[in-house]
């Protein structure tokens, strides 16, 4: 029998969205929502007569509008509360409400507003509030986010609360089986460039070489016949060895001379050969929308159409160039364009769970107050974040990947990573090929353990 979920008649679209993602999408439970004016908080009635009450510490205190999009509605800091009952970690991140779960006779009362917390993380509504500290590409900085300030960007707190809710429901005697979940590595590759400049690489090597021997070795690599950017077969070999599918995102145009440049065109024979190999080997071709397309529906549509026409495919997912993304306009653009999945929601300047999860989830338009068909596959780690923004070596990056693989495995969720095809140049990126191999070794190890 279904769970019965009751809440008041205010902020119905927002509440319905969160509870649908939580109970339906993540846990796979049968439930029925009943909107009842005057209901205090969120009440989940089980078929056996027992009940879970969850505090409403947010929506119930606002006018029924988009008032939560004001900076005054943002959480007033973060509390890390130790030893919260039913929480899967030794402590819990509390954004709304109090960090307590208590027994009330045969029932449970949760004083943490889990619904508001999930809404805050999944919809990214803090990013819909104008911020003067955007970076030079108009992107939200990780360092501006509440998750970074509260030191929980590395934690999938959405999944932590999903597990907490499930533990509470089990404790109350829920007999429904939950949806089966498994860890999976999701390798993605944005194709920004395919042509390798030996002259530029040699100049880079000359600047970095500290000895004559090192310069000679770098020159030998730079002047070799094989292009270090032509890693497509190797990337697919790695994915196939782990029985996963690579996702290659292709530029279909662009108007920015500086950022889109003349990197390649769809008519290039090299590009056509690469795409044929990707499709023939059963990997996925996605849209890498250009620098200015994240707020330009016409430009976005023309690039998508150009790729589909050139290769006879139907694109269903992809990611924006430079991770340019604005809430909720970019999601809305993809949703209205009929795309199924976006994978842009990751920060450039820091790795972590921008949306509080690594799971695929349905998106929500906070301006129109409506759920969308589009799903987000959050990007968790980009190699450029570690190498360029954090200036980490390939060896140090291995430890970062290991930590996130362990977290994803613990919560049985996907881990989406981004490695560009040109990130394995041994002159500019020494050791990163080995790091990529290590990532696959680690992921297969935890998959077997799972």
Average pLDDT rounded to a whole number, residues 324-338: 97
DSSP 71: G
**How far is it, in rounded angstroms, from Cα 352 to Cα 415?**
10
Percent of the chain with pLDDT over 90: 85
**How far is it, in rounded angstroms, from Cα 352 to Cα 343?**
14
Model confidence pLDDT, tens digit, residues 304-320: 999 999 999 999 999 99
pLDDT band at 204 (very low <50, low <70, confident <90, very high): very low
How confident is the model at residue 197, as a pLDDT? 58
Length of the chain: 450
Q: Is residue 149 scored above 90 in pLDDT?
A: yes
How confident is the model at residue 386, as a pLDDT? 98
Q: Which of 25, 121, 138, 100 is nearest to 373 (CA)?
A: 25
Domains and CATH numbers, the chain: 3-171 (no CATH), 184-194+229-449 (3.20.20.370)
3-state secondary structure of 15: helix
> What's the pTM?
0.93
pLDDT band at 156 (very low <50, low <70, confident <90, very high): very high
Query: How is 394-437 classified by DSSP, letter by letter?
Result: HHHHHHHHHHHHHHHHHTT-EEEEE--TTTT-TTTSTTHHHHHH
**Residue 3 backbone dihedrals phi, psi, to 5 degrees:** -75, 145
The beta-strand segments (E) located in 156-259 are: 184-191, 247-250
Range with top average pLDDT, 204-208, 218-222, 295-299: 295-299
């Amino acid at each position: 029998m279904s769970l019965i979920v009751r809440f008041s008649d205010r902020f119905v679209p927002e509440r319905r969205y969160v509870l649908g993602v939580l109970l339906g999408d993540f846990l796979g439970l049968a439930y029925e929502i009943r909107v009842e004016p005057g209901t205090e908080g969120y009440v989940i009635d089980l078929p056996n007569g027992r009940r879970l009450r969850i505090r409403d510490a947010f929506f119930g205190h606002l006018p029924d509008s988009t008032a939560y999009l004001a900076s005054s509605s943002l959480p007033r800091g973060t509390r890390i509360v130790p030893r919260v009952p039913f929480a899967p970690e030794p402590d819990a991140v509390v954004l709304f409400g109090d960090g307590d779960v208590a027994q009330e006779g045969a029932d449970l009362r949760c004083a943490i507003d889990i619904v508001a917390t999930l809404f805050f993380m999944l919809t990214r509504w803090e990013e819909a509030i104008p911020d003067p500290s955007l970076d030079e590409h108009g992107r939200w900085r990780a360092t501006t986010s509440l998750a970074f300030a509260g030191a929980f960007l590395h934690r999938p707190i959405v999944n932590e609360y999903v597990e907490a809710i499930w533990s509470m429901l089990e404790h109350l005697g829920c007999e429904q089986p939950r949806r089966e979940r498994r860890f999976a590595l999701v390798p993605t590759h944005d194709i920004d460039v395919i042509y390798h400049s030996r002259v530029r690489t040699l100049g880079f090597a000359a600047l970095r070489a500290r000895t004559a021997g090192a310069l000679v070795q770098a020159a030998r690599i730079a002047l070799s016949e094989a292009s270090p950017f032509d890693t497509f077969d190797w990337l697919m070999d790695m994915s196939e060895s782990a029985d996963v599918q690579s996702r290659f995102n292709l530029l279909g145009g662009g108007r920015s001379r500086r950022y889109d440049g003349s990197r390649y065109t769809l008519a290039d024979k090299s590009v056509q050969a690469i795409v044929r190999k990707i499709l023939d080997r059963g990997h996925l071709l996605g849209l890498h929308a250009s620098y200015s397309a994240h707020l330009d529906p016409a430009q976005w549509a023309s690039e998508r159409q150009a790729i589909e026409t050139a290769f006879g495919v139907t694109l269903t997912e992809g990611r924006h160039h430079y991770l340019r993304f604005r809430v909720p306009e970019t999601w809305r653009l993809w949703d209205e364009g009929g795309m199924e999945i976006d994978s842009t929601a990751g920060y450039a300047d820091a790795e972590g769970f921008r949306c509080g999860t690594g799971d695929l989830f349905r998106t929500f338009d906070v301006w129109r107050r409506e759920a969308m068909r589009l799903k987000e596959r959050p990007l968790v780690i980009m190699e450029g974040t570690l190498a360029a923004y954090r200036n980490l070596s390939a060896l140090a990056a291995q430890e970062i990947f290991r930590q996130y693989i362990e977290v994803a495995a613990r919560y049985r969720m996907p881990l989406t990573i981004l490695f560009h095809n040109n990130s394995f140049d041994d002159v500019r990126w020494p050791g990163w090929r080995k790091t990529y191999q290590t990532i696959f070794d680690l992921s297969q190890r935890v998959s077997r353990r799972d």
